[in-house]
Amino acid sequence: MIIANWKANGDILSNLKWCKFFIENCPKEIISNIGITPSSLHIGQIKDLLESFEVKIGIQDIDSDGGPRTGSISGEMAADIGCDFTLIGHSERRTLFKERNELLKQKIESAYQANLQPILCIGETLEENKQGKTMDILKSQIEEAISNITIKEDFIVAYEPVWAIGTGITPKAKDINVIHEFIKDVVQSQSSDNEVPLVLYGGSINESNSEDFFTQINIDGGLIGGASLDAEEFLKIVNIYSRLITQ
Ligand code: 13P
């Protein structure tokens, strides 16, 4: 799966142009493997524009609950306007909004109650990476977020090293592959039904490096920030992914 994460970008006119290009140029056989997370304000617009296509629409975050929580969007509300999935625990939520694993666990529960597919984002900081703590950090991020939750077969993890997001610096594809295998093992051992998740990689994916990533056996797709804002650039990456998975 390839997901475009637009973060706090987009407006009515540029979204319209993006979707027009996307509809005209996206290979039809891959479209159900593509997700878009526009800003919450633009989800309705994107849903309308892409109504007759199987592309998945997601929300970038949900609150852990609804009701008297000014400024929040609940899982139920996201599901009601037709979202298929929600990101949970993106590193920008963890850093800027101080979201902790305990809260993320509540958000996953809330997503499941609303029938939204949760995509748990995890990743280590540069400092943690340099100290050789990557695997320990990822393990605790997963365990604390899904302990005692019955995860479903469509559970997805996105591995996004904090130091690779928006920096142009990435780990080596082979190293990501090893980390993804580890993530699959950790989730599987936490899962009462032995579920093995898809694991997406995110962090400075672009047209030039994506082939390296997508040829790795344990990299099941990408979560793409900056390079997803330009429809043409995004579709170049989608085309590389499409060619590799249909080979
Ligand atoms: P960039 O692709 O801009 O590095 O962002 C990655 C990301 O945070 C996607 O969620």
Instruction: State the pLDDT at residue 49.
Output: 98
Q: 181 C-alpha to center of ligand 1: Å?
A: 21
How does the average pLDDT of the chain come out, rounded? 97
Q: Mean pLDDT across the stretch 184-206?
A: 96
Copy the structure tokens of residue 199.
């694991």
Share of the chain above pLDDT 90, in %: 99
- Note whether 116 and 86 are within 8 A (CB): yes
Copy the structure tokens of residue 91.
């590193």
Q: Mean pLDDT across the stretch 89-104?
A: 98
Q: 24 C-alpha to center of ligand 1: Å?
A: 25
Task: Among 163, 204, 213, say which to mutate for ligand 1: greatest number of ligand atoms within 8 Å of CB.
Answer: 204
Q: 44 C-alpha to center of ligand 1: Å?
A: 23
Whether 78 has a pLDDT exceeding 80, the answer reads yes
pLDDT in tens, 150-160: 999 999 999 99
Instruction: State the pLDDT at residue 247.
Output: 74
3-state secondary structure 169-203: CCCCHHHHHHHHHHHHHHHHHHCCCCCCCEEEEEC
222 lines ligand 1 (CB under 6 A): no
pLDDT in tens, 168-189: 999 999 999 999 999 999 999 9
Instruction: State the pLDDT at residue 105.
Output: 98
Nearest by Cα to 200 from 80, 69, 62, 56: 56
Q: How far is the C-alpha of 89 from the C-alpha of 30, rounded, in Å?
A: 27
pTM of the model: 0.97
Counting atoms of ligand 1 from 1, which one is nearest the CA of 166?
4
Instruction: State the pLDDT at residue 6.
Output: 98
36 lines ligand 1 (CB under 6 A): no
Q: How far is the C-alpha of 17 from the C-alpha of 93, rounded, in Å?
A: 28
Counting atoms of ligand 1 from 1, which one is nearest the CA of 202?
6
224 lines ligand 1 (CB under 6 A): yes
Nearest by Cα to 1 from 121, 122, 156, 123: 156
Instruction: State the pLDDT at residue 246.
Output: 82
Instruction: State the pLDDT at residue 159.
Output: 98
Instruction: State the pLDDT at residue 218.
Output: 98
Q: 140 C-alpha to center of ligand 1: Å?
A: 22
The confidence band for 85, taking pLDDT boundaries of 50, 70 and 90, is: very high
